Amino acid sequence: MDVREALLTRKATRAYLDRPVEEEKIRRILDAARHAPSGTNTQPWQVAVVRGETKRTLQEAMEAAFRGGQKGEMDYQYYPVKWEGPYRERRKACGLAMYRTLQIGREDRQRQLDQWAANYRAFDAPVMLLFFMDPVLETGSFLDYGMFLQSIMLEAVEEGLATCPQAALGEYPEIVKKTLGYPEESILICGMALGYEDTAALVNSYRTDREEVDTFTRFFE
């Protein structure tokens, strides 16, 4: 598989087979991703691979917090405080595409709630990856982290695996850090579901749109 094919194949997968991911595959993915670039070779990534009983304990705590009305708050501001176009429209279209595919109506609050709650279980993928960073690092390391995360997702495609990068898994940092024993001051960047795609699941059948190159690019000579 070449890079272009991997880029076009990768998608946010929200339903997985009940099939364990071999540890050697996880190690190969991380071994390849560690070669992602970072400013002055800081390599800011710290990765927690969460499976089995630890994953069950963690996801149950996060889902309970969500269903109990506890508002999640990330260690940093991920989304805009005020949504404006064209980002507001793209965000709305993204959500509508999923709900229409699943035939979840605007008034069906319970199904909407249940679908969102699945975020905190990493969509029942067998592996939940969580990404941390030292608080001494600054904005540039977030850029480095993005390249590392993309490297993981592309290498996962090479290994026949599916992923879903998830800001939602960073919404309850206190629960995550306490459960896994990470320092309170560490920055929880986000999480990622990892596993074998359930290709029969309806939720995996839709794809979000992408803007054409000419809409975001200017050429200068």
**The pTM is what?**
0.96
- Tens place of pLDDT for every residue, the chain, 221 residues? 899 999 999 999 999 999 999 999 999 999 999 999 999 999 999 999 999 999 999 999 999 999 999 999 999 999 999 999 999 999 999 999 999 999 999 889 999 999 999 999 999 999 999 999 999 999 999 999 999 999 999 999 999 999 999 999 999 999 999 999 999 999 999 999 999 999 999 999 999 999 999 999 999 99
Q: Specify the 3-state DSSP secondary structure of 50.
A: strand
Q: Which pLDDT score is estimated for 1?
A: 84
**Could you tell me the sign of the dihedral formed by the alpha carbons of 67, 73, 77, 81, in that order?**
positive
Report the length, in residues, of the chain.
Answer: 221
CA distance 142 to 45: 10
d(CA 31, CA 150) in angstroms, rounded, equals 14
CATH topology for the 3-78+119-203 domain: NADH Oxidase (3.40.109)
- 164: Cβ contacts below 8 Å, ≥ 6 apart: 12, 13, 14, 122, 123, 125, 192, 193
- pLDDT for position 211: 96
